[in-house]
Chains A and B, each alone.
Chain A
Amino acid sequence: MLRFFLRRLLVAIPTIILISIFVFMLQKLLPGDPVLAMAGEDRDPETLARLRAKYRLNDPLFVQYWTWITGVLQGDFGNSIRTGEPIAKLIGQKLPVTLQLAAMSMFFATLIGIPMGIISAVKKGTKTDFAANVVALSGLSIPNFWLGIMMILLVSVHWQLLPASGYVPPTEDLGQSLRTMLMPAFVLGTGLAAALMRHTRSAMLEVLRQDYVRTARAKGLIERRVVLKHAFRNALTPIVTLLALLFGELVAGAVLTEQIFTIPGFGKLIVDAVFNRDYAVVQGVVLVTAFGFILMNLLADMAYMLLNPRLRKN
């Protein structure tokens, strides 16, 4: 298992290098001069030249890349061109916020999506199945921003039950932290729940018609155990794979959700950096996200191995 993991990690290295080059080049090709943005009103050529020299923008590209990437490897992503803060520190501050949002969304999505998928597969063709599918389709087609705004209007403004925006770190006040994050996580979770529900349903339908499910019934097991143990255990592989693939959707969704609920997270960091042409920050953020993707895919592959006895032995 460990060997498999290390080998996969090794394979991932060229991918990460490619991504880092791509990210680095992209910002060089994009319109807009960061130095102009920094200098503001002051367009004095001397100031511009000084800034260029300070950020080593006159070096050949590969030298610039090398400087950047060796820094990254030592945990130094450079400084924000705009605020001068170390990017590693910014990421360190914002990432946990988004991770909390993502984790809570996934929690909602799993809590709603998987049981709903199982029930609608077991009750295939009934009204329950139909209702579950309607709910799932709505979950998929209602845009997050609309749902978010509606929930703010209803829950925060009208009922005044939950805060409409902001963020409280769980280390400071766990209860308040969860309360603040509840609505954003729910909004972000609905779309994922719907995808998960549909996926669970089809995986379960596939598994429920297998011979071994009939064998489980033939043993005299009660139906609940047949479904939850013998069938679900085998449906788990595609479900877990999907969970990892949903990570991309989660990041994209988080960017939007953090805007709606003004959460100072990773998504907001990306948006602000892009708007401010703070390319050093964009580079760092994209690289970390890409790394996250690769990690999730690696975890999915490992889960796949762990869940399949056939693969586990060798």
Chain B
Amino acid sequence: MSHSMSNLLSVKGLGLSFSEKGPDFLRDVNFDLNKGETLCIVGESGCGKSLTALSLMGLLAPSLSRRVKGELSFEGQSLRFQDQKKLQQMRGGRLSMIFQEPMTSLNPSFRIGDQISEAWQCHHGAGGRERALEMLERVGIPDAKSRMNDYPHQLSGGMRQRVMIAMALVNNPSLVIADEPTTALDVTVQSQILKLMNDMQKTLNMGIILITHDLGVVAQVATRVAVMYAGEVVEHASAEAIFNDPQHPYTIGLIASVPPISGPRERLTVIPGRVPLPGSLGKGCRFAGRCPFATEICQTDPPVQLMEGSHFVRCHHAPIENMKESAA
């Protein structure tokens, strides 16, 4: 937070439906991020975190990308999500992505040095190999020079994820989206990778969008947090506010379900019920089926996003005092 507070990214009204006439699954997704900061997107599996990330990268399947709505502004430049051409130009350069599965995200047929170097060369032309070597050293690959010639199958999962990070950061991006980068790795490697990303963020002053369902991770790294539920951002605020003053019933449930720091960390399944599938979204609040505070209006009308300062909540009964009243 010592960095300048200038805006790096803001997403406005991102929406996406899976079919021509179908309802939007991603609906009115909004969030902001400043330079050098970390935004965590949290939520149960299936709530649309990856879809949001892929929309930002312009990496949705063509059949889907045609239907993305909304606008974004990135480094002061604003464009529409449908502008695939512009997204492609930014992709891998100023804006890059790290994926969940290090085992399958690298091409098995090419040497890792070449794969990283290609990422540099397609934005800058020559000089990729020196740059790739430099990056491999920076992400802590031992004996980087000879590792340049390795194929992905010769590396462990943690090493592959380091290679992915090297590839994503080779062009000094100002924003990196990491979609559950440590979910597939074991716990000790997880914290190494998170530390690496944290270090790289400091040296490169880049913004990170970290997608995770691990609130422990969020507590460690987030500057801002967007809580997603069934395709919507239900609460968006500073990390501090999310943990100390959660306003949305879903967020409250999530935080309550986190085991103590010392205990084992499990997936977030403590809130009774399940996330509604994209095909079975009601017309009211999408959380109504699981919400202990739900009332009549929650079943019939979708709540809009309310703002108090820079704290956004999508609930009819926010702030929390109202809910307690109505529950009583």
Contact = CB atoms under 8 A, between A and B. Distances in A.
A289 to B, nearest CB: 34
Contacts of B39: none
Contacts of B133: none
Interface string B274-288: 000000000000000
Given A220-B119, A220-B123, A211 B91 contact: no
A216 B107 contact: yes
B153 interface: yes
A28 interface: no
A221 B106 contact: no
A307 B110 CA distance: 10
A219 interface: yes
Contacts of B239: none
A309 B153 contact: yes
A211 B119 contact: no
Interface in A231-268: 233-234
Nearest to A220: B92
A211 B118 contact: no
Interface residues on A, range: 20 to 34
B105 interface: yes
A219 B119 CA distance: 5
A308 B97 CA distance: 27
B105 A215 contact: yes
B119 A234 contact: no
B41 interface: no
B101 A211 contact: yes
Interface string A195-224: 000000000000000111011111111100
Contacts of B122: 219-222, 225
Nearest to B98: A218
A211 B101 CA distance: 8
A230 interface: yes
B123 A215 contact: no
B154 to A, nearest CB: 8
Nearest to A312: B151
B22 to A, nearest CB: 18
A234 B57 CA distance: 24
A216 B89 CA distance: 13
Interface in B84-103: 88-93, 96-97, 99, 101
Given A215-B99, A234-B109, A310-B108, A220 B88 contact: yes
Given A220-B91, A220-B93, A215 B106 contact: yes
A70 to B, nearest CB: 46
B209 interface: no
Interface SS, A side:
helix
Given A230-B107, A233-B109, A214 B99 contact: yes
B91 A219 contact: yes
Given A221-B122, A309-B151, A309-B153, A214 B109 contact: no
Contacts of B123: 220
B295 interface: no
Given A218-B96, A219-B122, A309 B105 contact: no
Contacts of A215: 99, 105-107, 164, 167
A116 B16 CA distance: 33
Given A211-B105, A212-B104, A218 B91 contact: yes
Nearest to B63: A125
A234 B110 CA distance: 10
Interface residues on B, range: 20 to 34
Contacts of A217: 59, 91
Contact of B99 (A211, A225, A307): A211
Contacts of B92: 218-221
Contact of B107 (A222, A234, A307, A313): A234
Contacts of A310: 108, 151, 153
A190 B119 CA distance: 39
Contacts of B118: 219, 221
Contacts of A309: 108-109, 151, 153
B58 to A, nearest CB: 8
A210 B104 CA distance: 7
A217 B118 CA distance: 12
A122 to B, nearest CB: 10
Given A220-B122, A221-B122, A310-B151, A212 B88 contact: no
A216 B93 CA distance: 13
A212 B108 CA distance: 8
Nearest to A214: B59
A220 B97 CA distance: 11
A234 B153 CA distance: 14
Contact of B110 (A218, A222, A233, A308): A233
A220 B106 contact: no
Interface in A256-314: 307-310, 313
A212 B163 CA distance: 13
Given A220-B92, A220-B93, A233-B110, A211 B104 contact: yes
Interface in B249-290: none
Interface in B308-328: none
Nearest to A236: B109
B181 to A, nearest CB: 13
Given A214-B59, A221-B122, 4 more contacts: A211-B104, A215-B107, A220-B90, A225-B122
12 contacts: A211-B101, A214-B99, A215-B105, A219-B119, A219-B167, A220-B89, A220-B91, A220-B119, A221-B92, A233-B110, A234-B107, A310-B108
Q: Which 3 A-B pairs have the closest CB atoms?
A: A220-B92, A309-B151, A211-B104
